[in-house]
Chains A and B, each alone.
Chain A
């Protein structure tokens, strides 16, 4: 029997890898992949917690699993829109390096 904490720790590691990736990567596609990694880390944590709460007899044990469905759909919608924006930009400048995005000052 693997403890809930182990799953949550794994999800924490995945989440951190994703977060570090978002902050250090330069290609917009890679940043986006890292965001997806973070979302899936959240899904893993939700499923692990849902399993534990269901084990304690809590009725909302199932809602953690349904939340995962919703997050999956959200992620798909984000992919569609994000890649759409990327394609529009790529058509105009043939690069997805975010460091090249310097037209607008910080």
Chain B
């Protein structure tokens, strides 16, 4: 029953290992300071990675998580939507309205003004 899964894991492991091994065997090796530096999407790497970020990032990330998780409640709603469309639509509107109050609060508090 699980053979196909096993095959997939084996294939994935093989391809991953092969890419590393073949690259190491066949690739040219010319080490230099630029080559050895950590890859930073083309930008020069400066400073420590353990820098403290403005708390603003954290706030926005937190808001994202909250609104994101609330969206999960729409999945069961969508599955059963056909059974009572008007009723469930009304429920969804009420749910969103409650979230909207929180959203208005967040905007008025200036959390989303990025300065």
Contact = CB atoms under 8 A, between A and B. Distances in A.
A80 B72 contact: no
B62 A69 contact: no
Interface in A79-101: 79-80, 83-84, 87, 91
B66 A76 contact: yes
Chain A CB count within 10 A is highest, among B58, B69, B72, B75, for B69
Contact of B69 (A76, A83, A87): A76
B76 A66 contact: yes
A73 B72 contact: yes
Contact of A69 (B55, B58, B66, B76): B76
A80 B66 contact: yes
Contact of B62 (A66, A72, A73, A84): A84
B50 to A, nearest CB: 13
A72 B69 contact: yes
A106 interface: no
Contacts of B72: 69, 72-73
**Interface band, chain B:** 10 to 19
Interface residues of A, number: 12
A64 to B, nearest CB: 13
B66 A87 contact: no
Interface of B: 55, 58, 62, 65-66, 68-70, 72-73, 75-76
12 contacts: A69-B76, A72-B69, A72-B72, A73-B69, A73-B70, A76-B65, A76-B66, A76-B68, A76-B69, A79-B62, A83-B58, A84-B62
